[in-house]
Structures are given as C-alpha cells and as structure tokens.
C-alpha cells in the first residue's frame, strides 16, 4: 500500500500556485479539468444518471437534490475521481494512504436560499483530515448558487457557530468559488463553506466527492457497492483509490 501512495505521489501534480492557494485559503478552483468538447456529454450523462437513480439513492433537501453512487453510474464518471490535481491534493493534505469516501451528484435547486456555513470534517476529530472536490457541471456564478468559502478557516480551531450570521448571504470574509463548467474546486474538509443562493430558474449541477485516510470510516463502503461492470472497466489506480 505504501508503494501505491509513493506511486500516486509521483504521478500526481498540483501546480505551485494552486497548491499555495489550497494551503493558504483552504480551497482552490482549477478551470478546464473537463475538456470543453466533453462538457455537453457529461451534462447529458449526469441528467440521465440522476433521472434513472432508484429513490433510495436520491435525497431531496430544502435546497439541494443529491444522488448517491456516481462511482457506479457509468464510464463518463470514471476519470473524475482520478484527476491528478485531486490526487496530488490528497497526498499533500492527508499525507498518508487514502481512499475515496463518496462521489455523488448535487444540484442546488432553482430559487433556493443560501446554505448555512459548515465544515465537512472537524479538525482533529477521529479520521481527520478530509479532502473534498466539486466538479462544475454548470458554470458556477454568483446568482446560481456557487459554493461560498471562508478563506483560511480550515486553520481555525472552531466550527461555524449556530447563529444567523451563518445563514446570512453576505458573511464577512466569504468568497464565491465561481468558474466555468468543467472546473474543479478542491477544498480542505475543515474549511467553512456552503452553497450560496440560487436565484435562477435552473438547477446548479455538480459532482462532488471526498477522500479520507485509508484507515478511516468512509461515507460509502465502495467495496460493498461496486458493480461487476464497474470493476470490469476500471484500472488498478481506480481500484486502489476505491479500496476495492
């Protein structure tokens, strides 16, 4: 397993300015990860996967719709969790062997309010740290629910307080992670974040995932969920990061 970690470290690259921004701010937006010519195909595959999902895999909240298990929803999604910048970010932040915890679709529903600021993984708790990613299936804009982050908050010992400040759309110091479709947001799981309000009549679509320490409890047991057809098409690197 250590060999795999060394191999991933050697093949993964996060260009210097992105690495510094991730360290400093706790998140970074990398444009152009999904090639332009693939974007409409990815969006169509997303819509089709979401509409075919069994109801047990769909959670509809007050502002978002989430569909589980994008590891098993088609070959169009296989490369997303293997992009070299996200693997490099995991090597940098987790600093030891890691695995994919989950990969799912999340749409911010049309005309939805802002989401409260939160962390995905509290600092220094069991299994910490975590690295998250968000792939923009649609352009993220200030009016369609782009994710908001509080830069530097991944270094704070506190989590967002349960207060109205948290659900205010204009939290002091927050920055919107805007970018063209095909961009990837990589973030430290301890940074304060949440989606902003979607004031448009269209959903804001994304594919999101997280990586955790290899010995930590995953959100989804990939080995239990993996389908034979997925196993049949993915390579050794994917099997390693899925721990299947």
Residues at the contact surface with ligand AKG, assessed by CB under 6 A: 106, 108, 120, 147, 193-195, 206
Nearer to ligand AKG, 147 or 190 (CB): 147
- With CA atoms as reference, report the closest residue to 118 among 132, 101, 138: 132
Distances (CA, A) of 216 to 22, 88, 198: 23, 19, 34
- For the record, the structure tokens of 165 come out as 């400040």
- With CA atoms as reference, report the closest residue to 226 among 242, 205, 215: 242
- With CA atoms as reference, report the closest residue to 204 among 148, 149, 145: 145
DSSP letter (8 states) at residue 36: G
Distances (CA, A) of 238 to 37, 113, 120, 216, 235: 24, 36, 24, 18, 5
Nearer to ligand AKG, 12 or 101 (CB): 101
Nearest-approach distance from CB 80 to ligand AKG, in angstroms: 15
Nearest-approach distance from CB 236 to ligand AKG, in angstroms: 31
Nearest-approach distance from CB 217 to ligand AKG, in angstroms: 18
Nearest-approach distance from CB 164 to ligand AKG, in angstroms: 19
Taking the CB of residue 244, how many other CB atoms lie within 10 A of it? 18
Nearest-approach distance from CB 229 to ligand AKG, in angstroms: 28
Nearest-approach distance from CB 180 to ligand AKG, in angstroms: 16
Nearer to ligand AKG, 83 or 187 (CB): 187
Q: What element of type H or E holds 223?
A: helix 222-225
CA distance 99 to 102: 9
- For the record, the structure tokens of 22 come out as 């991730």
Nearest-approach distance from CB 26 to ligand AKG, in angstroms: 13
Nearer to ligand AKG, 87 or 138 (CB): 138
Nearer to ligand AKG, 12 or 208 (CB): 208
Nearer to ligand AKG, 42 or 226 (CB): 42
Nearer to ligand AKG, 13 or 143 (CB): 143
Q: Which residues contact 117 (CB under 8 A, 6 or more apart)?
A: 148, 150, 160, 166, 171, 174, 192, 193, 194
């Amino acid at each position: 397993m250590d060999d795999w970690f060394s191999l991933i470290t050697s093949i993964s690259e996060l260009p210097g300015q992105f690495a510094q921004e991730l360290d400093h701010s706790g998140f970074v937006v990398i444009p152009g990860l999904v090639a332009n010519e693939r974007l409409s195909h990815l969006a169509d595959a997303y819509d089709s996967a979401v509409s075919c999902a069994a109801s047990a895999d769909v959670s509809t909240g007050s502002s978002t719709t989430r569909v589980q298990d994008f590891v098993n929803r088609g070959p169009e999604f296989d490369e997303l969790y293997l992009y070299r910048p996200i693997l490099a970010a995991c090597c940098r932040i987790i600093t030891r062997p890691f695995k994919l915890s989950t990969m799912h679709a999340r749409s911010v529903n049309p005309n939805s309010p802002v989401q409260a600021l939160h962390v995905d993984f509290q600092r220094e708790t069991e299994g910490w740290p975590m690295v998250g990613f968000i792939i923009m299936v649609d352009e993220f804009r200030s009016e369609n629910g782009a994710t908001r982050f509080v830069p530097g908050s991944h270094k704070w010992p506190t989590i967002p307080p349960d207060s109205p400040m948290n659900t205010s759309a204009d939290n002091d110091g927050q920055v919107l992670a805007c970018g063209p479709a095909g961009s990837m947001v990589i973030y430290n799981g301890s940074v304060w974040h949440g989606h902003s309000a979607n004031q448009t009549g269209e959903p804001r679509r994304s594919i999101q995932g997280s990586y955790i320490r290899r010995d930590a409890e995953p959100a989804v047991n990939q080995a239990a969920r993996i389908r034979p057809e997925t196993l049949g098409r993915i390579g050794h690197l994917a099997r390693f990061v899925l721990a299947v």
